[in-house]
Structure 1
Amino acid sequence: MEVTMVRKIALVLAAAAVCVPGAALPAAAEQVPPVMAALGDSISAGFNACGWYVSCTSRSWSAGDHPSVNSHYVRLLGFGQAVKGHNLNFAVPGSTSADLAGQAHKAMAAKAAYVTVLIGAQDACVSSEARMTPVSTYRARVDRALAVLAPTGAKVFVASIPDVKRLWRLGKDNLVARSFWALGHICPAMLANAASTAKKDQARRDRVRARVQDYNEAMRQACTAYGPGCRSDDGAVFAYPFTLDHISKWDYFHPNADGQRALARATFPHGFPWDKTPSAPETPTFGPEPTPEPLTTTDPRALSRSAAGPAGR
């Protein structure tokens, strides 16, 4: 009789623990998606991560297949092989939030079950502060894109925009970096007059940084509105303490292969709990990044025409 009573008490206590308001329940694991897709701009396209002013989708933090980056795609392969060979990249250098819905339609047509989104740097990196996309417009565009994906049931991961003011702080005393930024018209809203300490320039940079933070909050809210099928990085990319070692020396703006690897490492833990297939291989680990091939010229004037491309939009 005492044993029976002990069992009853144990059952009551277990039930109470489950029913405690706010008690955390383990998240349900998701099946490895059969198709994944990357949406966004030059960052997700891997621009300048392996070649001179070209997209390097193999090095993308999201859908890249190069082992050195250890992207979301490569990490998913560690959970199961269903997605093998089905890593699509619809990100286009120079894209703004206005282009996101079109990319979402492509992901929908491809039946992507897992979609990553990183968009907004080019909404802020315009020719002048006044031309930055209004936050309300940015949010409306993101909502439209997510509305395209919602009927498909796709799992969506949204990453925050990097802190471009941190890039300015790292490169403002570097003559080569300032030359690339000026001659290539790279992110003028933030990087114009990079060496200036005038109050008006300091205030401008603060306002541009604040706009990026507002975009990130708008994206987070849009993700919340999408429902449990969306996960945010909670500002991990914006807060990441990157250095110039993570930045391409071909424009001093885009992430190089090591920067792409850092993006993958910073974002993946904030995503979905994937159901690991018992027979799946473990996610590989990798050593230091290979040293990028050196530039054929050190004169930034020779690159001015190329630098005015996607990075300078």
Structure 2
Amino acid sequence: MTTTYIATSALDPICDAVEGLLSKSNEVVRVTPSEVAHLESRKESCLVISEQVGQSVFSTIPKDFGMVHFLGCRPPRALLEQVENSDTVIAGISPSIAPRVANRVIGFTGPLQVKPMGVWGIVGLGTTGLEVARKVTSNLSSVSIADIRTPRSGILNELGIRRKTLDLLVAESDVVTLHLYAGPTANPLISKRELSLMKTNAVLINTSDSSVVDEQAVLDALRSGQLAGYATDCPGPIFELPHELLASDGKLLVTTNPLTSQIGASVNIARFVDLNVRAFSNGEKVKGCYEPVDFPIVGDPSFWSSRMSPRQD
């Protein structure tokens, strides 16, 4: 029987749901954030960790766990670094939350007054980017993607989408939506330079992380008319402040309502984690694993932008 530790704060409905399912077939031990660094980890044991534990906890996770499962939408950099520095399987919840992210992205386009069947540019074709692509193409919009890795075989032909450099993508798109991890090669990915390449009637959507865009450059572009609209559910310091004039003009849309708190989300996440723990215990493939992908040393440079960051399958 696999021993699974669940690290969380006292009140956490997602961890409650995960614990309820896992306890039916596994030995489950609930621990506090301060106890994580002192756990006796083994290759056959798992750690399920909430995003509520605090950033500093992720750098204290013992490296001998067989699997670490993160329960948030945006993995901390310290957790991604563990992928590069250990043999531990590190997974997230992207496959279970991707449809909700895609619905939010599509929902943003209404208030931003995106024209029907416009040209979409999707940066990052992992699980979430792919879900967005499927929804957008079903609405008969044209889609291009930018990703530092070659997409899975046949997926571009299946959806009728094209792969382009980041520069071409931002220059040609009516909507640019970002689906990648925060990291040193994407800090920021969208800066004043990329914004200057965009159409003046284009909008930018960011559901990844505040650090992947230069928020001050975005704010300046909105005010000058260089950018028609910006929507995000991960505002940084600049967009955490109210900008009522931009919001009232329909140029700025900011929400801080986490997708993981939506009705039914905790149950869906718990089922996904339960299946992953079962797969790990049986030596089968775990879904939603993070991969240490960064700027490539070799390959076709025509497909790379100047900066990119890992994505998730």
**TM-score under structure 2 length normalisation:** 0.31
**TM-score under structure 1 length normalisation:** 0.31
Q: Which has the higher contact order (CA 8 A, sep 6+)?
A: 1
Q: Which structure is higher in helix share? A: 1
Q: Which structure is higher in strand share? A: 2
